[in-house]
Amino acid sequence: GAGVSQTPSNKVTEKGKYVELRCDPISGHTALYWYRQSLGQGPEFLIYFQGTGAADDSGLPNDRFFAVRPEGSVSTLKIQRTERGDSAVYLCASSFEGSGNSPLHFGNGTRLTVT
Amino acid sequence: AQSVTQLDSQVPVFEEAPVELRCNYSSSVSVYLFWYVQYPNQGLQLLLKYLSGSTLVESINGFEAEFNKSQTSFHLRKPSVHISDTAEYFCAVSEYSWGKLQFGAGTQVVVTP
């Protein structure tokens, strides 16, 4: 079956612009996560959705970052007034129920470059 | 707060040789431990996990990891690697059994003939 799909795979934007990154989770997965991976580092947790609501957004670095999941399926990560330090690979993952018995399934990520 | 240290950023290894990837963590609470693998041009995949019970956990492709609470370690081992094991391996820890993970910086394993 289809895995987690992230679009676009690459995004280049200018400093100060607004960007949206999309994640299509595996069908039926109620839990959805966003992570950010900077060069040479491991993924860093950003936000976790259980259904439509953000159960934990403690990883969002500041108020320029926002994520939604209005129908409990597709999620969009939104970044306002992008900065060069936002350049990273943004990873989305989903799991069946958000418990330890449900492994995370990661997408291939969106590589964001802010020039 | 937790932290994860992967002591080796890159490990070159010959085919059929053993490999050990080291992972140490720090946490003030009980944790769950994971190893994820990222093959070239693919997304991260769960390799194995320790949630409770036996401290030795195994994956379907011959990797094993042992949770050592006193040494706060969760090292990953394989007695004989294949070319196809070339990948980046990430150790992760969580105080929750679900997906809020703290990852290490990763260890790149390069297997050569």
* pLDDT tens string B76-106: 999 999 999 999 999 999 887 667 899 999 9
Residue in chain B closest to A4 (alpha carbons) equals B43
The pLDDT tens digits of the residues spanning A49-90 come to 999 999 899 999 999 999 999 999 999 999 999 999 999 999
B100 and A CB contact within 8 Å:
yes
Picking from A106, A110, A111 by the largest number of B CB atoms within 10 A of its own CB, the best residue to mutate is A106
Q: What is the pLDDT of residue A63?
A: 96
Contact B27, B2 (CB under 8 A): yes
Angstrom distance (rounded) from CA B94 to CA B8: 21
Residue B92 C-beta-side C-alpha neighbours within 13 Å = 30
Whether cis (ω within 30° of 0) applies to the bond prior to A8 is: yes
Cβ A42–B106 below 8 Å, yes or no?
yes
Q: What is the pLDDT of residue B1?
A: 74
Query: How many Cβ atoms from other residues are within 10 Å of residue A75's Cβ?
Result: 25
10 Å CB burial of residue B65 (0-12, 13-18, 19+) is buried
Residue B87 Cα to chain centre, angstroms? 12
Candidates A42, A45, A101; nearest CB to B105: A42
Rounded to an integer, the average pLDDT of B40-56 is: 88
Q: What is the pLDDT of residue B96?
A: 74
Q: Which chain B residues touch A102 with a CB distance below 8 Å?
A: 98
Q: What is the pLDDT of residue A68?
A: 97
Contact A68, A79 (CB under 8 A): no
Rounded to an integer, the average pLDDT of B59-67 is: 92
Angstrom distance (rounded) from CA A2 to CA A27: 8
Q: Which chain A residues touch B3 with a CB distance below 8 Å?
A: none
Residue in chain A closest to B89 (alpha carbons) equals A42
Contact A31, A102 (CB under 8 A): yes
Instruction: Please give the mean pLDDT across all residues of chain B.
Output: 92
Angstrom distance (rounded) from CA A86 to CA A46: 13
Q: Which chain B residues touch A105 with a CB distance below 8 Å?
A: 43
**Beta strands B64-68 and B56-58: pairing type?**
antiparallel
B97 and A CB contact within 8 Å:
yes
Contact B108, B90 (CB under 8 A): no
Q: What is the pLDDT of residue A97?
A: 76
